[in-house]
Structure 1
């Protein structure tokens, strides 16, 4: 069955993209592959019905994953946050500089404090970031940095980001 499903060039291309770049949402896939939205929806639905692709909804998007890659629900959650630019940058900075204060993070990001606080709260609520109170200050660190780094290494080509490359190089040198 799956062989016939993948007989179409566009569908095979979409499947290959989802396989090598898990966690993208519909518009993101559409931008990357430059396939008309209606065509993309049709092929993704067909791939899902055939069992080659599964979807997971997060707060804002439906994200696509190939069933061939056995990702845990936690890994899918991590990937969904890594696909979001600001959350990815926060995670990478906290991997690079654990126990960062909020003021340290504000200095590193060109975001309003309220926006940064919103993203941090999302990451804390998702159990990806740990918030520790030390006196009047809060210190932030990444929970499960090894899993995040493993996913970044595995799917590195799908994260076109100099910061990802920099943190990965430092991480791999330190091993």
Structure 2
């Protein structure tokens, strides 16, 4: 039997492809290694199907500087993908949660809240600033960071909360909800 190639396959006909697509829909912003672990496909098989789904407009890729993340096509705009990329990274998620709940904070404030060095917090803040998720403003002798769109962050976190495993952030957002 001769393989006619991926172009001849009807959309999502293969069970493996449907499984991958559904897992991405259920976990938007998931990266390759997490998909590999969750679905237990061979690396080459997963790469092939992800590429096929992307080529056929069913998935979109987003590079967060560390990982290539996958999203269902046309469900997340560029800003939403940037927010979700940040929410998928543990310390970025925690920084975002503190900024959402407490408003503008300095690197020192965040360092204390996260129990991380100022340089680590600063690195994460620079990534968030590069993604245009936070703004920084000099206030006196310190620089404070603030979320550009806290309502969007809260909405995306709330809708996709079950896909994040971070009780600390859950408690912070629960505080925000109670205001």
Question: Normalising by structure 1, what TM-score?
Answer: 0.87
* Residue among 22, 43, 51 paired with 2:28: 22
Runs of 4+ in 1 over 4 A off after TM superposition: none
Give matches, 1:9-158, under 5 Å: 9-67=15-73, 69-158=74-163
CA contact under 8 A between 1:92 and 1:163: conserved in structure 2? no
Matched, 1:171 2:176: yes
Name structure 2 gaps, 5 residues minimum: 1-6
Question: Normalising by structure 2, what TM-score?
Answer: 0.85
Name structure 1 gaps, 5 residues minimum: none
Distance 1:48 1:126 in 2: 22
Larger radius of gyration: 2
The number of aligned residues is 172
Distance 1:8 1:140 in 2: 47
